[in-house]
Structure 1
């Protein structure tokens, strides 16, 4: 993508106002807390203290809107206290340019590095630096500075108390995350009726897992419906896939396929009903026809073998998920898989450790921290030297718009400047027409903040317009005329945005050159997952390692998709990996994970006889994918000779025509096919490789008939889990869900 096109795209995205579900009650609560703090401060301490406390309450309310699984009161308190500390330290050094500049550099660098601990922490830290640049100018003595800092803490405390006293949809975010996961699986079941190899985006399951990590205080009050449903939902997905996939023995058409479609449709209905019940806290109401579909004895007379076992397993899991979702009351303790989130004091060492891991030259977080620090210091010096006054607007804008990736930084810069123009124009018109006094200015500031809270999730442009009006009215509360702030604010906001954009152009952290590294990480993770699954067949009594490998593959997949999404908007071209090669490689790795998932759905019982050949193949797969990942990073085509040799040795030992070993051998051949396709995607000139060493693919893409899987070994029945591929770049295959951001969570 050229620079001109990239700028055009980011400009367009900056002005987009998205359609999001508004939360007026939460916005009203935040505005009420802000109004209360301003009114008491204005009455008791005067306009300057009211402005400081207003910034504290304003920022604390914004913190409660962040998509975090942490309790909202904790976020409000953390925001108010950290802003108070920043303001007090800033005032102690503001009279000495060198000292304040040193503090600004240290504080800004730490704020930039804090993005390593999560977006919520990064946003709060960056906002503290930005607001500090304003609030340090309000006090006139050390005692007043301490008083203003105390009022900021009070502002955060008031917002925290309001959250406790007037909760809105308590556990709502956690319910939404779990409901989204169930709804995604319901949509997946319906799509499998028409496309037996349909893709599934595991992001909703990852979000639900993040939501399941709670603080000790949350663990004591978490609703029972949120306690074990997620674990059951995790086990439903591979069963759905194995029931629909032709490789499990159900032909593409016929009586068996019709029965499978009925079961999948009923499963989608049950999952949707459960999702609605979880989201709203209501009893589960499943349509009778869906229940009857699973209870009819026709299933046993139509389906046999693995499909019948999958159908029985699916019925049991659906009954469990409905029963768990209907649980009432509070959870009495922690479940065996309970995950604790660190409390705020314990979060400090966790965050510092995350920041320490990112302190290296190639880290995008470290480069972001360096950029934002240099820009903040430069902007503050330029603002101080320019004959405009209020020079802090330039570094304030830079700190607020800069993010670790290109697209967000540029789009936010454009949105902030455009929103500032609109907000300042509207606020100036109101001031000129009404000439508000202290209390009316305070009221207008509260109204502006309320609108900001209401629309802040619809996009940066609308939110920044409200913020601009809020600041104009709030500074008017302190007695400043609009003519003293508006022209300067517009010019310095433009300067700060330009500095931020220039810094990214001069010292970028492009994601495009790292695509091969992300792809290699995903390959290694998928290999570990496939090897862990095969090892379970070699030792059925040992189930360790599979869950961890699955989570690792999901994380690597998410990192790859994030990298691709960012790279698509960057004005650079990666000469080592074309878009077509990236798409084909993604398809091959997705197929690799799908085959492993299908084998996981049919794990043997703990007392089942072991399959030693599966263990040898697993070791070869693990070693080969690690070496293949290294080859991908080094721009070489990975080879899979060791995997092919292990498969051939397995065939020489003899494989039964049916039974668990035949199924896992079939899956091993499909794993090799996926690896072969990956090599072909990375180098179109690579010679065709198969499980047997000849031909285009070892297992043709078909769902019917007999085929030779490896030279000497022939199996009958459907052999391929692959189908038409239509994906390009990051995918989201889930059905409609409540609009929620998919940002990563804090620690």
Structure 2
């Protein structure tokens, strides 16, 4: 993609307003938290104290709107504490420009590295720097700085207390994640009726698994209806694919196919009913006609062989879902928290070693996170020095814009830069017009600031441009409490916002972390993870000692994570103005399709793992060993842009097929499909093949 087209696409993305479900009660609760802090400090303290302290409640409330499975009060408290520390350090260093710049460089470097822990940590750390840049411009002494930071921390406490005292749809995020997973499997079942090899998006199942990870405190209070559904939903997915597949499942046409379509439709209806009930916290209303289909017909079974086994397994799994929906499941107790009945999530203190490991992992020069941190610290320092040297005042606005705009990838940085300027232009002009025409006093300015906060929380997920409109208005009205005239703010803020956004974009262009050159590595990682999953399933089919369901499950999760990493990287690379440094788009698409079909073929066999030693155990074990031996060289070939050589795998499959003759079982048919997918992968890569040892 050329630079002109990349800039056009990112600008369009930044200005896009998306439709999003609104949560007015949650937004109102967050705005009330800000109003309490502003009103209290304005009544008992001073206008400048009110302006400084309000940022704690504002940013703490903003942190609770991020996509996180941790309790919202913990997010508010953590954000408030971090903001207090950041602001106090800023006050101590703000007396001298050189000292403040050194502190700003160090603090933004840590802020950038926070993205290694996760996106929520990165966003909250970004808020810390942005709030610090604003609050330290308000004059105060060291005792006053302590007072300000205490009130900022109090803002987090107030937001946390409001969440505890006035819960709005508790466990709503976890409910939605589990319901989305069940609805995704239901939609997959319906699509298989028309397309037996329809693709499946594993993202909802991955989100549901992440939402199911609990701390011991969460486990004690988890609602019973959030327990017992995700496991069967995970197991239903490969059984659905196996039943619909024309090679290992029902016949392509005839009564068997009709029966398979009926079973798929009935499964989709039942899972949709359960998902609806979980999302709304209501009793499950199961459709009786669908439940009647999920029984053996009065005239006897219609399906035969592997299709019949898949149908019986599907009926049993749907029955498990129905049983979990009809009977209450006991919440996990404190003792139960230790018996692995839920996925363990580290507590907040337990996150410290996890965060340190993540930081060490990203502390390498090629890491996009480290490059983002270096870029962020350099741009923020340059923006602060430039803005301070200019005659407009309010020099913090340029580095604050850079900090809020910059992200580890190109697309988000440039789209947010455009959105930031457009939103700031609209917000500053609207707020400036109100200040010029109405001349509101401190209390009226505080009310207008709280109104902007409420609208921001309400419309936060509609787009960054919309959010920036209300953020800009909030800052204008809040500083108006402290006596800042609108004429002193509008022109300077527009110019400095443009400067900060331009510096952010220039910083990424001069010191990029392109995703395109790493696509080949992502593809190789996906092949390696898929290969481990395939080997584990074939070894499990062969009854390999020491290999249980847990190992197969972990390899499947690794394969899913590698696939999502590839898809996210490919999506980011699509918007980058980089040429000829990654795989050809058509080749990448073909390779992606081949690896997706490889994972699907393995999933078909996973649905038929036997309880007893199968007749094809030795052949399956030999095939798995051959594939395992060929994988390292194949992964290296994909990483280097060459075609992998699967000659040894073809030989192993040929031996297997000659041994079984005409009596081919499910495993050998899956192996044949798998080899076809591996050949498709080799054909998608342009480089010459090098024979493997």
Q: TM-score range by the shorter chain?
A: over 0.9
The answer to whether 1:595 aligns with 2:586 is no
Residue of structure 1 in register with 2:306 after alignment: 306
1:668 aligns with 2:671: yes
**Larger deviation, residues 155-164 vs 325-334:** 325-334
> How far did residue 329 of structure 1 move?
6.7
1:636 aligns with 2:647: no
The DSSP-based 3-state class of the residue aligned with 2:247 is: helix
The equivalent residue for 2:414 is: 410
| Contact in 2 for aligned 1:186/1:269 (Cα 8 Å) | yes
Q: Tell me the residue number matched to 2:209.
A: 209
User: Which residue is 2:251 aligned to?
Assistant: 251
Q: Give the structure 1 partner of residue 168 of structure 2.
A: 168
Say yes or no: does 1:565 pair with 2:571: yes
Gaps of 5+ in 2: none
1:225–1:326: 8 Å Cα contact kept in structure 2?
no
Q: Deviations over 1:579-635 (max 9, x none)?
A: 110111111111111110000000000555671221121122122122211111112
Shift of 1:540: 6.0
Distance 1:147 1:576 in 2: 54
**In the aligned structure 2, how far is the partner of 1:284 from the partner of 1:269?**
12
490, 494, 518: which one aligns with 1:514 = 518
Q: How does 1:253-332 map to 2 (within 5 A)?
A: 253-298=253-298, 300-328=300-328, 331-332=331-332
**Compared CA separation, residues 315 and 7, structure 1 to 2 (3 A):** same
Would you say 1:458 and 2:450 are equivalent positions?
A: no
Are the equivalent residues in 2 in contact too, given 1:529–1:553 (CA < 8 A)?
yes
Alpha-carbon deviation of 1:664? 0.9
Say if 2:641 and 2:687, in contact at 8 Å, map to a contact too: no
CA distance in structure 2 between the aligned counterparts of 1:30 and 1:342, rounded to whole angstroms: 27
Correspondence 1:679 to 2:682: yes
Q: Which moved more, 1:327-336 or 1:386-395?
A: 327-336
TM alignment of 1:574-589, pairs within 5 A: 574-589=580-595
Q: How far off is 1:384 after superposition?
A: 1.2
Matches within 5 A, 1:72-111: 72-111=72-111
- 2: CA distance between counterparts of 1:293 and 1:443? 60
Deviations 1:384-415 (A, max 9, x none): 11111110100000000100111100010111
- Kindly tell me: are residues 326 and 96 of structure 1, through their superposed partners in 2, closer, same or farther at Cα, counting changes over 3 Å? farther
Partner of 1:356: 360
CA distance in 2, matches of 1:685, 1:152: 62
- Partner Cα separation in structure 2 for residue 605 and residue 299 of structure 1: 28
Q: CA deviation at 1:9?
A: 0.7
* TM superposition shift of 1:296: 4.4
Partner of 1:645: 651
For 1:52, the equivalent position in structure 2 comes to 52
Cα distance in 2 for partners of 1:576, 1:160 equals 47
Instruction: Find out whether 1:434 has 2:438 as its counterpart.
Output: yes
Q: State TM-score, norm by structure 2.
A: 0.96
Deviation at 1:322? Answer: 2.2
Q: Secondary structure at the match of 2:525?
A: helix
Residues 519, 582 of structure 2: 8 Å contact kept: no
Asked whether the 8 Å contact 2:449–2:477 carries over to 1, the reply is yes
Displacement of 1:137: 1.9
Cα distance, 1:489 vs structure 2? 0.9
Q: Which residue of 2 aligns with 1:622?
A: 628
Q: CA deviation at 1:197?
A: 0.6
**RMSD across aligned C-alpha pairs, in angstroms?**
1.7
Instruction: Tell me, yes or no, if the aligned pair for 1:537 and 1:614 is still in contact at 8 Å.
Output: yes
| Aligned counterparts, 1:382-421, within 5 A | 382-421=386-425
The SS at the match of 1:83 is: helix
Matched, 1:547 2:550: no
Contact residue 277 and residue 283 of structure 1 kept, 8 A:
yes
Distance 2:578 2:687 in 1: 23
The offset of 1:63, in angstroms, is 0.5
- CA deviations over 1:2-23 (Å, ceiling 9, x no partner): 1001101111111111010011
- For the residue of structure 2 that corresponds to 1:217, the secondary structure is helix
Aligned residue-pair number? 685
SS in 1 for 2:285: coil
CA contact (8 A) 2:306 2:666 kept: no
CA contact (8 A) 1:105 1:373 kept: yes
The CA distance in 2 between the partners of 1:484 and 1:575, in whole Å, is 48
- What SS does structure 2 have at the residue aligned with 1:301? coil
Q: Deviations over 1:549-606 (max 9, x none)?
A: 1001000000010011011111112355111101111111111111100000000005
State the partner residue of 1:127: 127
* Distance across 2 between alignment mates of 1:291 and 1:608: 33
Distance in 2, matches of 1:640 and 1:298, equals 48
Q: Does the alignment pair 1:605 with 2:611?
A: yes
C-alpha change, 1:134 and 1:622, in structure 2 (3 Å) is: same
1:483 paired with 2:487, answer yes
Which segment is superposed worse, 43-52 or 606-615?
606-615
Give the aligned partner of residue 32 of structure 1: 32
Are 2:499 and 1:495 aligned? yes
Measure the CA separation in 1 of the matches of 2:408 and 2:483. Answer: 38
Query: Which residue does the alignment assign to 1:379?
Result: 383
389-398 vs 88-97, which moves further: 88-97
Looking at structure 1, the residues matched to 121 and 85 of structure 2 have their Cα atoms a distance apart, in angstroms, of: 16
CA distance in 1, matches of 2:502, 2:299: 66
Alignment of 1:235 onto 2:235:
yes
Q: Deviations over 1:271-298 (max 9, x none)?
A: 1001101111111111111011112425
Tell me the equivalent position of 1:655: 660
Aligned to 2:196, the other structure's residue is in SS state: coil
